[in-house]
Amino acid sequence: MFNKEEFIKSMEIILRAEKAKTLDEAEEQERWNALSKTIIHMITPRWKETTENYHRSKQAYYFSAEFLMGRALSNNLMNLGIDDKVRKSLRELNIDLNKLERIEEDAGLGNGGLGRLAACFMDSSATLNLPVTGYGIRYRYGIFKQRFEEGFQVEEGDNWMRYGDPWSIRREEESVMVSFHGQQVKAIPYDTPIIGYQTKSINTLRLWQAEATEEFNYPLFNQQQYDEAVRKKNRAEDISKVLYPNDSNTEGKKLRLKQQYFFVSASLQDLVSKYREKFGENFEHFSRDHAIQLNDTHPVVAIPELMRILLDELHMPWKKAWKIVVETFSYTNHTTLAEALEKWDIGLFSQILPRIYEIVVEIHRRFEEELISLGYSQEGVQPMRIICHGQIHMAWLAIVGSHTVNGVAQIHTEILKNRELRHWYKLYPQKFQNKTNGITPRRWLALCNRELASLITELLGDEGWIVDLKRIKKLEKYAQDPRVLKRFLEIKQWKKKQLAEYIEKREGIVLDTQSIFDIQIKRLHEYKRQLLKAFHILDLYFQLKENPEKEIPPITFIFGAKAAPGYYIAKGIIKYMNEIAKLINGDEEIEGKLKVVFVENYNVSYGEYLFPGADLSEQISTAGKEASGTGNMKFMLNGAPTLGTYDGANVEIIQEAGKENNYIFGATVEELEILGHHYNPKEYYKTVPGLKRVMDTLIDGTFDDGGTGMFQEIYKSLLEGAHWQIADQYFILKDFEDYRQVYQRVLEEYQDRILWAKKCWMNICNAGKFSSDRTVQEYAKEIWHIKKQN
């Protein structure tokens, strides 16, 4: 029960103890900190009860290098069902809860869809009363904070803890030691509560922070060797300093490997220690109590690490230990891209983790023996060797060492089975499953689009849809009701206004809310084809310059994306897109027709404005390259039709909501396979009207890349390729004309407001499948074999 007096008193006590201030005297960030800690104080008994209850049954553990959580305060108040009570209580003290919520920084624990998926899974697990714990790294600076300087991406440290981290509790007493060759570091767990939506369950996200075993060497300092005195401390802290350190050189690769081993070793030691407390030294039933999900290849080194613990510390025979390992682990594959299927050079791996390398060699040897015994020839074994050409294939190790392998969308899983992992599927057909991704409807509708959520609740009669998203299918009966459709359009217009205000505040750019808000927000990668969108915008611009009388509805193109610091081409594309924005936004003849905005530092909190404010969802990756996507689902749930290819979860979105309510273009996976190496992008460059003119802006001086040669490199990659890739490997030129034609249909149909509203509404009504609640229930039943704990 919420008690206003006790709540306010708790905030006052915290402020007096930590800041020697009253509520009236405190700064906004101090009030936010006190409010957040008061929530922690309120939920601690339930959190402790949930943890104790879960220990009585089998649990699942989600190992992930990323957890892109977003702000905690507003989400937690909603899930606890006390948002209105807290808001009212603070208002009586002249404190604005909205201001306190905006103080909070996004926790810098993730980068893209993989990390946001992990966050949605944690929310769903708690809401469904499922015993699931997340394990990862408590990054000090996260991925990076992005800003633009002369159109170039500039990376800065993301100091997300500058006002503290009130949502984490340090568990010093449960720290463990992690050893690398020549280095030992302390892993300190920080626990974050994951509050289920209006349920008693409070799950745990445990993140490890790396610290030195020796904080400070006094004798060295006394000898005036100041840097050397803190060298061990600095090297230890480097491990949890930054998410995905640049690995373009050997030192960066070493740090990445250390990060991966650090968090899986600490996590497994934690699980083993707790198991020992419960069952003693009998580890034969370890897999009966533990299901560990490896979220992509980053945590796969956990497989040989658990073998090390079972072999070296518990002195278990190899076969018995291996059986436990395989029964414990399952592996989620998130990509069909060969370069993203992680590999480690033997020299580097064996240098950092010599004992783990010995175990990987033995896993490799025994697996090859198994294949030979099954009648495989040396030629047949070749594509499945865990160690090959001086590298360790972590995805292959994951498949061999797991009982289940899953893709994250129907088309993705089929591509894995029939193409990318076909050898493995032939060997282990029983291991492969599909688990189409999902998103939590709490954050991605109930929280970020309260107006639409209220309309849905009104039409359905209660809020049950928030935990059973399939119920919104019943809204289809309103698809022909002009009164409901007009109310939806009014809500959409209000969300566009909120987004425009947010962008004006953040970017200093004024948007026309009567224009189409066409949005593409995701990681910057060539296969996601932000460049295709850039080419189309430039083509539209040139058409309007040639024919000023050409009638189109006004369009605002909004992008958000970060490029990995070492990804040269991706950073060049960002610069190019910002150059296009500069050209178009500065042309008075085009004013009121087109505008281009590339928002800085796109993150979860930005997304909470962008997804509800979108008129059109751009999901234009090359067919077969996007495993699933979850941004497409967030747009769909908030009423934006998809303009996209038959790729990832787009396929299932079309199946659910209908092709007539979305816009599909481009070559299919099958068509691209047939085309294969016969593809010649120069033919399209020469023959597709307008394409050459657009592409030549990369090299003809229209735009300035600051003398870097970036634009020339992009141009060359499209027409000639490079030693590591074929020309236009993501088929931008091939799909350009089809994209342009379909976009023209978007512009025509958007102007019929009721027709457009119906398309949006049908997407909302059919988004039920894409709840992460459904996805997690499938994992729990079909992979983890865990049950709800009431």
DSSP states along 530-581 = HHHHHHHHHHHHHHHHH-TT-----EEEEEE----TT-HHHHHHHHHHHHHH
- As given in the structure block, the two tokens for residue 345 are 């050079």
- Picking from 626, 662, 620, 118, the residue whose alpha carbon sits closest to that of residue 409 is 626
User: Could you give the CA distance from residue 703 to residue 495 in angstroms, rounded to a whole number?
Assistant: 34
Question: Within 13 Å and on the Cβ side, how many CA atoms surround 755?
Answer: 10
User: Could you give the CA distance from residue 297 to residue 396 in angstroms, rounded to a whole number?
Assistant: 10
Query: Alpha carbon 773 to chain centroid distance?
Result: 17
Contact (CB, 8 A) for 213 and 235: no
Give the list of residues 6+ apart from residue 102 with CB closer than 8 angstroms, or none.
none
Is 634 catalytic? The answer is: yes
- Say which of 71, 334, 364, 758 is annotated catalytic: 334
User: Could you give the CA distance from residue 642 to residue 520 in angstroms, rounded to a whole number?
Assistant: 11
Is 200 catalytic? The answer is: no
Is 571 catalytic? The answer is: no
- Say which of 241, 522, 525, 625 is annotated catalytic: 522
Please say whether the dihedral angle defined by the alpha carbons of residues 378, 381, 386 and 391, taken in this order, is positive or negative.
positive
User: Could you give the CA distance from residue 346 to residue 367 in angstroms, rounded to a whole number?
Assistant: 18
- Say which of 241, 528, 533, 625 is annotated catalytic: 528
Q: In b/e form, how buried is each residue of 251-287, taking b as 16+ CB within 10 angstroms?
A: eebbbbbbbbbbbbbbbbbbbbeebeeeeeeebeebb
DSSP SS3 for 525: coil
- Picking from 11, 1, 169, 167, the residue whose alpha carbon sits closest to that of residue 80 is 1
Is 642 catalytic? The answer is: no
The one-letter code for the residue type at 682 is K
User: Could you give the CA distance from residue 763 to residue 656 in angstroms, rounded to a whole number?
Assistant: 8
Is 389 catalytic? The answer is: no
> How many residues can be counted in the chain?
790
- Torsion-angle region of residue 663: left (phi > 0), alpha (psi -120 to 50) or beta? beta
Contact (CB, 8 A) for 409 and 649: yes
- Say which of 634, 740, 758, 759 is annotated catalytic: 634
User: Could you give the CA distance from residue 445 to residue 497 in angstroms, rounded to a whole number?
Assistant: 17
Burial of 94 by CB count in 10 Å (0-12 exposed, 13-18 middle, 19+ buried)?
exposed
- Say which of 630, 642, 697, 775 is annotated catalytic: 630
Is 523 catalytic? The answer is: yes
Please say whether the dihedral angle defined by the alpha carbons of residues 488, 490, 496 and 498, taken in this order, is positive or negative.
negative
User: Could you give the CA distance from residue 332 to residue 334 in angstroms, rounded to a whole number?
Assistant: 6
- Say which of 116, 443, 523, 759 is annotated catalytic: 523
Annotated catalytic residues are 334, 522-523, 528, 630, 634
